[in-house]
């Protein structure tokens, strides 16, 4: 396996880290209502587990209200139960096939807590990027020992690897900063 093939293999892994991180921070509550806060919430309906988005249309209706329009009226009760068990701290109003979820305003304490959680999630993703880097660096070193990768290519590969890791860490920082701004609004 050549150096370029080794380096090409790292990009999808790093992209997965970013995709996962985006999904995680989208679930974090900010001052605004966002359907992603509840769309993946698990609902026990007819002795099976579904997500809310499988049972209803979820949309934002204003800055602090999420509207859930169930496909069938029989889904309303299970969805309400799932929302009641969640940690949103929201109030709910059910009408026929519709549930209105009002999110309370964030307090200073809850904002600080969200920022702390966000920092932890950012660090988790940086660690994941480092692990991927270490794995690929070991492959490059093994390639050099086996004679597949030349010594000067090994060090060039390390430089390229470090540039790639820096680029993905910057993406994590950019996404984190954007979320911090949302939380502080």
Which CATH number fits the domain that encloses residue 19?
Answer: 1.10.132.20
Q: Give ∠ CA 148-166-177 in degrees, rounded to 5.
A: 155
* Mean predicted confidence (pLDDT) in 148-171: 86
Structure confidence at residue 95 as a pLDDT band (50, 70, 90): confident
- Mean pLDDT for the stretch of residues 159-167: 89
Question: Is pLDDT larger for residue 147 or for residue 40?
Answer: 147
- Give the pLDDT mean for 19-39: 72
- The residue ranking higher by pLDDT, 42 or 13, is 13
Per-residue pLDDT, 170: 93
Q: Where is the domain boundary, 102, 129, 149?
A: 102
- Residue 70: pLDDT over 60: yes
Q: How far apart are CA 143 and CA 88, in angstroms?
A: 50
Is the model's pLDDT at 164 over the cut of 80? yes
15 and 66 assigned to the same domain: no
Q: Are residues 68 and 158 in the same domain?
A: no
Range of the domain at 130: 3-27+107-184
Could you tell me which residues come within 8 angstroms of residue 72 by beta carbon, excluding any fewer than 6 positions away?
Answer: 55, 97
For residue 89, the model assigns a pLDDT of 60
Residues 79, 98, single domain; the answer is: yes
pLDDT at position 166 is 92
Output the average pLDDT for the chain. 80
pLDDT tens-place string over residues 30-62: 656 666 666 677 777 777 788 777 777 777 777
**C-alpha–C-alpha distance, residues 79 and 57, integer Å:** 12
- Comparing C-alpha atoms, which of 174, 158, 182, 181 is closest to residue 18? 174
Number of domains in the chain: 2
Tell me how far apart the alpha carbons of residues 10 and 165 are, in angstroms, rounded to a whole number.
10
Taking only the tens place, the pLDDT of each residue in 106-137 is 677 777 878 888 888 899 999 999 999 998 88
Domain boundary among 75, 102, 129: 102
Residues paired with 59 in a beta bridge: 67
Same domain, 21 and 81: no
Per-residue pLDDT, 2? 67
C-alpha pair distances (Å), 132 with each of 1, 24, 119, 162, 175: 17, 19, 20, 11, 20
Separation between Cα atoms, residue 61 and residue 40, nearest integer Å = 18
The domain boundary residue, chosen from 47, 71, 102: 102
Q: Does residue 8 sit in the same domain as residue 97?
A: no
Same domain, 82 and 130: no
Query: Mean pLDDT, to the nearest integer, of 133-148?
Result: 85
Rounded Cα distance, 129 and 117, in Å? 19
């Amino acid at each position: 396996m050549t150096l370029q093939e080794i380096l090409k293999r790292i990009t999808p892994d790093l992209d997965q880290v970013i995709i996962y991180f985006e999904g995680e921070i989208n679930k974090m509550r900010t001052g605004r209502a966002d359907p992603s806060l509840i769309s993946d919430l698990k609902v026990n309906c007819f002795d099976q587990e579904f997500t809310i988005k499988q049972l209803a249309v979820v949309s934002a209706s204003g800055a602090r209200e999420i509207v859930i329009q169930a496909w069938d009226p029989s889904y309303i009760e299970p969805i309400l139960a799932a929302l009641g068990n969640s940690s949103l701290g929201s109030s709910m109003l059910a009408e026929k096939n519709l549930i209105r979820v009002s999110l309370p305003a964030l307090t200073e304490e809850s904002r600080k807590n969200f920022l702390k959680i966000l920092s932890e999630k950012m660090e988790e993703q940086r660690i994941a990027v480092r692990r991927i880097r270490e794995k690929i660096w070991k492959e490059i070193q093994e390639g050099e020992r086996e004679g597949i990768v030349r010594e000067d290519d090994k060090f060039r590969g390390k430089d390229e690897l470090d540039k790639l890791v820096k680029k993905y860490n910057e993406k994590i920082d950019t996404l984190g900063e954007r979320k911090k701004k949302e939380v502080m609004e």
